[in-house]
């Protein structure tokens, strides 16, 4: 039984047995993400001191090169998962190709692959606005004992066994699902422990917030334009409001708590949208669905899209169920 104030470590152990494959491998994997999150959080929180301690590209006082934060985060998450020999493969927004992991003694015995966006919301990094990490976990489809292949990564979102995000915001949180609802844990930075603060998170069925980069309005498909106009029109009791941080994790997190919709549609500038199917849209879609929300490309369920390449982009519309369905209706009728 989960309870508020339970630590993430306790929660992982307690819920391990409810997971259908109970080898403990998935628990170890989530634990390694938890550890890397703390290290990255520490670095993200120092980012404002960059003028004092040196900018990316400089050499710091210990003679180490300062890394850009997204590169730093990428290295930390990959190290956390490879050093402890927990996964058989990783794909990252920061890497052109997937990484196959093998340790001599284990000989490709691990069963899980991870797809990760180590630091999403890159335009917010240098300006003290929240950024996030997004991860998605699958069981490999190729046989254990052999190197992973691209097929292990190009799985539909509906095959995910776990997904989550870390938000480096006014407080730092891990929010994740293993297919049994969504739980959120807040870091107490004084003692470095995540506590269950948001058990069983749910999107309100309807919401008032729409989040979209309206600077791209003139390039949007007609259905999206119509939906935005519908939200803006003052008619009866339609009190919509616009909030857009430009950091998917933060916009999604707020919308899940308050009720709302996030949209990154295709446009004449970005014919497939901007966000990446495998390590941005699918994990957020899984969390959304587990929290009673919805995720669509405007016409079909995100998690049913057949992936064709690692860094594939798709239009992404996600949030409170009624709002997503309304947008789909506008898309169909445009
Ligand atoms: P990134 O992976 O380069 O950080 O891009 C993803 C981000 C999302 O977090 C955010 O919602 C979107 O890009 C914002 O894009 P835009 O600045 O075009 O509105
Ligand atoms: Mg990203």
Q: 140-186: per-residue pLDDT in tens?
A: 999 988 899 999 999 999 999 999 999 998 899 999 999 999 999 99
- Cα distance between residue 229 and residue 200, in whole Å: 33
Nearest ligand by distance to the CA of 316: 1
Mean pLDDT rounded to a whole number for the chain: 89
Q: Is the CB of 121 under 6 A from ligand 1?
A: yes
- 100: which strand partners? 89
pLDDT of residue 53: 46
Tell me which residue has its CA closest to atom 16 in ligand 1.
246
pLDDT of residue 279: 98
- pTM of the full predicted structure? 0.93
Q: Is the CB of 248 under 6 A from ligand 1?
A: yes
In the structure encoding, which two tokens stand for residue 6, read together? 């339970």
pLDDT of residue 20: 59
> What are the structural domains of the chain?
8-198 (3.30.540.10), 209-333 (3.40.190.80)
Q: Do 226 and 334 contact (CB within 8 A), yes or no?
A: yes
Query: 229 burial class (0-12, 13-18, 19+ CB within 10 angstroms)?
Result: exposed
The helix (H) or strand (E) run that includes residue 327 is helix 321-333
Among residues 276, 321, 279, 274, which one has the least CA distance to residue 296?
A: 321
pLDDT of residue 82: 85
Query: 12 burial class (0-12, 13-18, 19+ CB within 10 angstroms)?
Result: buried
Atom of ligand 1 nearest to the CA of 262: 11
> Which residues are within 5 Å of ligand 2 (an ion), measured at CB?
117, 120
Distance 210 CA to ligand 2 centre (A): 20
pLDDT of residue 19: 63
Nearest ligand by distance to the CA of 117: 2
Name every residue whose Cβ is closer than 8 Å to that of residue 201 and which is 6 or more positions away in sequence.
175, 181, 182, 183, 184, 256, 257, 291
pLDDT of residue 185: 96
Q: Which residue ranges of the chain lie beneath pLDDT 70?
A: 1-2, 18-23, 47-67, 103-108, 236-238
pLDDT of residue 65: 55
Strand ranges, E, within the chain = 89-92, 99-100, 112-120, 131-139, 162-168, 172-177, 182-188, 193-198, 209-211, 241-242, 260-264, 294-296, 316-319
Q: Is the CB of 209 under 6 A from ligand 1?
A: no
- Answer positive or negative: Cα dihedral of 287, 288, 290, 294: negative
pLDDT of residue 56: 59
């Amino acid at each position: 039984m989960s309870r508020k104030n339970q630590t993430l470590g306790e929660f992982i152990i307690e819920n391990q047995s409810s997971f259908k494959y109970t080898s403990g491998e998935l628990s170890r994997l989530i634990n390694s993400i938890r550890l890397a999150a703390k290290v990255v959080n520490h670095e993200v929180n120092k980012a404002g001191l960059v003028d004092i301690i040196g900018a990316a590209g400089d050499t710091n006082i210990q003679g180490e090169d300062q890394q850009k934060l997204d590169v730093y985060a990428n290295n930390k998450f990959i190290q956390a998962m490879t050093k402890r020999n927990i996964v058989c493969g990783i794909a990252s927004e920061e890497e052109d190709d997937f990484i196959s992991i093998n340790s001599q003694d284990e000989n490709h015995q691990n069963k899980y692959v991870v797809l990760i966006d180590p630091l999403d919301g890159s335009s917010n990094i240098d300006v003290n606005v929240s950024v996030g990490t997004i991860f998605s976990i699958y069981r490999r489809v190729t046989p254990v004992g052999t190197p992973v292949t691209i097929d292990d990564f190009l799985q539909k979102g509906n095959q995910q066994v776990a997904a989550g995000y870390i938000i480096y915001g006014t407080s730092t949180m891990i929010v994740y699902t293993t297919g049994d609802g969504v739980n959120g844990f807040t870091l107490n930075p004084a003692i470095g422990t995540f506590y269950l603060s948001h058990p069983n998170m749910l999107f309100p069925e309807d919401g008032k917030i729409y989040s979209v980069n309206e600077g791209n309005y003139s390039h949007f498909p007609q259905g999206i334009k119509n939906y935005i106009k519908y939200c803006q029109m003052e008619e009866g009791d339609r009190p919509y409001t616009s909030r857009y941080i430009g950091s998917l994790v933060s916009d999604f997190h707020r919308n899940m708590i308050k009720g709302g919709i996030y949209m990154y549609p295709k446009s004449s500038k970005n014919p497939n949208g901007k966000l990446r199917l495998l390590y941005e849209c699918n994990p957020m879609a899984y969390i959304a669905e587990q929290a009673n929300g919805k995720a669509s490309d405007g016409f079909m369920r995100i998690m049913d899209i057949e992936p064709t390449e690692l860094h594939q982009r798709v239009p992404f519309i996600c949030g409170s169920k009624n709002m997503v369905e309304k947008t789909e209706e506008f898309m169909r009728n445009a």
